[in-house]
Chains A and B, each alone.
Chain A
Amino acid sequence: MSSSLTSRNEAGIFYVLAAIGGLVTAVGLGSALYMEHAGHVVTGMNNQIVWGIPHVFAIFLIVAASGVLNVASIGSVFGRVIYKSRAPLSGLLSIAMLAGGLAVIMLDLGRADRIIVAATHFNPTSVFGWNVILYPGMFAIVAVYIWTMMERRMNAYSKPAGFAAFIWRILLTTGTGSIFAFLVARQAYGSALLAPMFIIMSFAWGLAVFVVVQAAMYFWNGMRLPPLVLQRMKNLLGLFVAATLYFTAVLHLTNAYFAKQTAFEYFLLFDSEFSALFWVGQVLIGSIVPMILIWSTTGQRMTWVTVAALLVIFGAFVQLYVFIIGGQAFPLDIFPGYDVKSSFFDGQVDHYTASLPEILLGLGGIGIAFTAITIGVRVLRFMPQDDVQHLETAGAITD
């Protein structure tokens, strides 16, 4: 084990990582306080682009949090042994990222100080209202699920708990996609396709995060991931990335087909600051390059699979930026067939520049997730334990 770290170095690294995570979190919380005090005047958000970079971070974290639980579901619900040993880690990542994402979305509120109102006043027709139930419910169910897996006496209940978590996470991502799917006002949204698309996106992004964290943990412990496990996970990642790309293509093709939507599609795909981000960031770097890395000979190496996963995460951020900011930048078509002008910027393409405080708030969400994961894997047994010989004799890793 040449790359093995001595236990003393290892402890040192833990404190360094925890300190970095804590610092990023603290800076993020400080930014939120500043935004809360000064008002959103210190952000790049305005009355046309009402959701900005904090929402990109928050939605990435929430969607990936749901997707990362897929690893556990494949183990518990579908009985795959190599995934089963990874289920507790998958649960931890899920809770940590959900916490980070929710923190960002709540701290970005205009009146974050009265967040309790969201719990005491419930509007049943609001997708946000549903999410007020779905998100905390996810915490509870995943926490119980982890408990049934890690507490020996509760092991018997881990399958039903896993099944409940699987159903809940499908609902949760449907709820996240529906935030946009249920909007009639803006051309970028209002498609039922968005709910299943968010689910498939969550599969890809969650697995990518899992692959990266797993690689870091194996490196940290000086261990090597069994090649068969690597093979399985990277193939699955490639499949999810391909499926996300497929949904993206169908969404844009349907939009381009409808005359009322073509102007928006042309704007987004060919005639705006978002076009290059879409083609180069989301499609090329975020989807095609990772697939090539995964399915060519480089995909036999842990390092390249990790790089592919990192590119998928990068592509996810670009995709959300194009989807959320690009979708709002295009003017509302209030008077079809007319050129419009007003003091409220009707008919004009808006340009958004994220300000430092809102970027730091978004990073703070990553910091919260990172810190929780670092501490979690250090103090509890989340390291996947593979008994390769046993797996082979049991026939579990031959297909």
Chain B
Amino acid sequence: MRNWLFLAVVMAFLAQFAWAGDQANSRTPKPVIEIANPGKCVAPPEEMRRNHMEMLKHQRDRTLRQGIRGEPVTLNGCIDCHASKKTGSVLGAHESGKGGNFCESCHAYAAVKLDCFECHQPKAKFKAAGVMPGVKP
């Protein structure tokens, strides 16, 4: 019984960190995020913060498995808008060393693995250059 009480207190304590991001005057340190085009997102920031992963997950399955194109939410859409004006990428560290560009800064802050860019191109309007050498038979 006592253990459960203790656990509940710990949970309540930890939960306030989760809320901290939405509160204006929190003493909790926040991630440094460069917003390239403020106020133009497909949904309000509160909703995007909580649900962007679900939105992207459902879209990716529809696009890849059913071939549906032209969805309002696409990862490339996110990247095109949110890529840093300096580096052109949603990944990478700021010069100050705190956090990083749009996606990475928050994921680093929240310590959530960012798997998208193992395969997806993190740079906006990236053009793959050249051809693999030595392909002639």
The answer to A–B direct touch (Cβ < 8 A) is yes
Which residues from A are CB-within-8-Å of B137? 341-343
Q: Which of B120-137 contact A (CB under 8 A)?
A: 134-137
Taking each of B134, B135, B136, B137, which has the highest tally of chain A beta carbons within 10 Å of its own beta carbon? B137
Nearest chain B CB to A46 CB, angstrom units = 15
Closest to A114 in B: B115
Closest to B118 in A: A111
Q: Mark A341-383, 1 if CB is under 8 A from B, else 0.
A: 1110000000000000000000000000000000000000000
Which residues from B are CB-within-8-Å of A341? 137
Number of A-B contacts (CB under 8 A): 6
Which residues from A are CB-within-8-Å of B134? 343
Interface residues on B, range: under 10
A380 CA / B136 CA spacing, docked (Å): 63
User: How many residues from A make CB contacts under 8 Å with B?
Assistant: 3
Looking at chain A's contact residues, the main secondary structure is: strand
A278 CA / B136 CA spacing, docked (Å): 36
A343 CA / B134 CA spacing, docked (Å): 8
Which residues from A are CB-within-8-Å of B135? 343
Nearest chain A CB to B107 CB, angstrom units = 16
Which residues from A are CB-within-8-Å of B136? 343
Nearest chain B CB to A148 CB, angstrom units = 34
Which residues from B are CB-within-8-Å of A343? 134-137
A204 CA / B29 CA spacing, docked (Å): 63
Closest to A346 in B: B137
A98 CA / B135 CA spacing, docked (Å): 43
Closest to B134 in A: A343
Closest to B137 in A: A343
Which residues from B are CB-within-8-Å of A342? 137
A218 CA / B32 CA spacing, docked (Å): 65
Nearest chain A CB to B136 CB, angstrom units = 6
A341 CA / B136 CA spacing, docked (Å): 11
A342 CA / B135 CA spacing, docked (Å): 9
Nearest chain A CB to B36 CB, angstrom units = 30
Closest to B136 in A: A343
A2 CA / B134 CA spacing, docked (Å): 69
Nearest chain B CB to A341 CB, angstrom units = 6
Nearest chain B CB to A30 CB, angstrom units = 21
A47 CA / B30 CA spacing, docked (Å): 46
Closest to A341 in B: B137
A112 CA / B136 CA spacing, docked (Å): 34
A52 CA / B134 CA spacing, docked (Å): 26
Q: Mark B94-137, 1 if CB is under 8 A from A, else 0.
A: 00000000000000000000000000000000000000001111
A188 CA / B135 CA spacing, docked (Å): 29
A342 CA / B134 CA spacing, docked (Å): 12
Q: Mark A324-349, 1 if CB is under 8 A from B, else 0.
A: 00000000000000000111000000
Q: Which of B26-79 contact A (CB under 8 A)?
A: none
Nearest chain A CB to B68 CB, angstrom units = 20
Nearest chain A CB to B5 CB, angstrom units = 33
Nearest chain A CB to B116 CB, angstrom units = 13
A341 CA / B137 CA spacing, docked (Å): 7
Contact sample, A vs B, 6 pairs, CB 8 Å cutoff: A341-B137, A342-B137, A343-B134, A343-B135, A343-B136, A343-B137
A residues with a Cβ closer than 8 A to B are 341-343
B residues with a Cβ closer than 8 A to A are 134-137
Closest 6 CB pairs of A and B: A343-B137, A342-B137, A343-B135, A341-B137, A343-B136, A343-B134
